[in-house]
Structure 1
Amino acid sequence: MVQMGFGHVGIFDARYSRSIWEVKGEIEFQGEVRLGHGTRISVGEKGTLVFSAGVDITAETAIVCQRKISFGEGTLISWDNLIMDTDFHHVIKNDEIINPPAEIHIGKHVWIGCRCTILKGSVIADKTIVAAGSLIAKKFTRGNVIIGGISAKVLTDEVEWMA
């Protein structure tokens, strides 16, 4: 089951929070997924967006997928995040595009704090916590860590979280 428009985050008004569903490519739901008020999803013609079971997105998150974005099982995403695998505009050097879209993979049981930006090519390992306000623009392959900052780095390790 996919549930859209749930949750009550006191800092936004659900009456004015608009969700957007623009899908020209593919979306795969691998189980129960909840998408909060104001979730905006755009999947381009060549894009594939994959939600594993138990993914829970609070309010006001935007996902822009032109290539592939995948969310692992049990991932929790707080409010007002931006996740996009494209720059939208091409940068050309010697007649070649040097900034193509790149896949994003978010592992299992990841907790993403509010107001994070996750950009193309990013990987977030299983059981990772992403601190609020972070910019993720690279691969984090070690799990059970807290990552955060602009640009993000590992802040501490050997951690776990529970909802």
Structure 2
Amino acid sequence: MVIRALNRKIKRLEFKIKYKKYKFAENSFLPFIEFEAQNCKNIIVDKSVSFRQGCALRVRSSGILEIGEGTAFNNNCIITCREKIKIGRHVLFGPNVAIFDHDHDFRGNDFEHEFVTDEIDIGNNVWIGANVTILKGTKIGDNAVIGANAVVFGNIPENAIYINEVKNKLTLYK
């Protein structure tokens, strides 16, 4: 038990030294997740934020990531930020949630695709179920519940329950 606590303190210190230009509150701990910060503007992780195994944070290309107090991520959650992702206080994420504030612009004829970005804003006291994907341009209001397996885009009002109906649709692009 003592060795485990000492190892955790060493990992926390290594993490703070490596990423000292970003703000991580004392009770939030990230060393056991995959973490990438490439040329990003700012990362703020408030106090008592927790991550389970297999989570990944990737902040790139002048991205801004803010995670509010008391937010909890279950196993295998992925956040990839190129513009801005803001997550409020006391948000609960089920396992396998993916959050992307960008898409690939795939309409070109070569493999040098650009990114299309838009901010994501998740309110306070939101509950996000298992296997949810949150796409660019999404705003989720306070106290909302997002059902399992949902693909979320656009505006979800506060105090709403959001689920996807299962429909198959084929659309051709030009």
TM-score band w.r.t. shorter chain: 0.7 to 0.9
- Can you list the C-alpha shifts for 1:41-62, whole angstroms capped at 9, x where unaligned? 1100310110110110011011
Residue 105 of structure 2 contacts residue 116 of structure 2 at CA under 8 Å; is this kept in 1?
no
1:30, CA displacement in angstroms?
Answer: 2.5
Decide which structure has greater helix share.
2
Q: Which has the higher strand share?
A: 1
The answer as to 2:143 corresponding to 1:127 is yes
Question: Which residue of the other structure, out of 57, 61, 66, is the alignment partner of 2:82?
Answer: 66
1:36 aligns with 2:52: yes
Secondary structure, aligned partner of 1:87: strand
Deviation at 1:38, TM superposition (A): 0.4
Q: Secondary structure at the residue paired with 1:38?
A: coil
Q: CA RMSD in A?
A: 2.2
Matches of 1:107 and 1:76, distance apart in 2: 11
Q: Look at both structures and tell me which one has the larger radius of gyration over its CA atoms.
A: 2
The alpha carbon displacement at 1:109 in A equals: 0.1
Q: Which residue of 1 aligns with 2:98?
A: 82
Consecutive unaligned residues in structure 1, runs of 5 or more: 6-17, 152-163
Deviation at 1:31, TM superposition (A): 2.1
1:100 aligns with 2:126: no
TM-score in terms of structure 2 length: 0.70
Which residue does 1:137 correspond to in 2?
A: 153
Which ranges of structure 2 fall in alignment gaps of 5 or more residues? 1-26, 167-174
Q: Please report the TM-score for the alignment, with normalisation by the length of structure 1.
A: 0.75
Q: Greater shift after overlay, 23-32 or 48-57?
A: 23-32
Deviation string 1:118-144 (CA, Å, 9 cap, x unpaired) is 00000100000000000001111x211
Question: What corresponds to 1:161 in structure 2?
Answer: none
- 1:27 matches 2:53: no
2:161 corresponds to 1:146: yes
Kept in 2, the 8 Å contact 1:74–1:108? The answer is yes
